[in-house]
Amino acid sequence: MQVTATEAKNRFGYVCAQAKTEPVFVEKDGRIDSVILSVQDFEALKAASQSTNLAERQKTFNQAHKAWISEQNARFEKSGLWCDDLRVW
């Protein structure tokens, strides 16, 4: 469901009731500005965002960028760090 901000303000009870069955998109100045969700939908989103911990994200990153990581490691083994021979004056 999509309503304007004025409609959401004037019919807040109805909008809250609709949010229990589907997300309600609130439009302001012709663009979607906010979304009203039921508590169950919000809790599900919150749980989903917290379920991926750092180790899982690192594993996913390493799998997705395996070739690039190997290239960088090979470059380091061959040349060392780019700043190894910099001198502080």
Domain ranges, ordered by start, for the chain = 2-37, 53-79
Q: pLDDT value at position 52?
A: 66
> Residue 31 — very low, low, confident or very high, per pLDDT cuts 50/70/90?
very high
Instruction: Please state the φ and ψ torsions of residue 69, each to the nearest 5 degrees.
Output: -65, -45
- pLDDT recorded at residue 21: 94
Query: What pLDDT digit, counting tens, does each position of 50-87 carry?
Result: 766 777 888 889 999 999 999 999 988 888 877 777 77
Kindly give the residue spans of alpha helices, DSSP state H, lying in the chain. Answer: 5-10, 12-19, 39-51, 54-64, 66-79
pTM above threshold 0.75: no
pLDDT at 55: 79
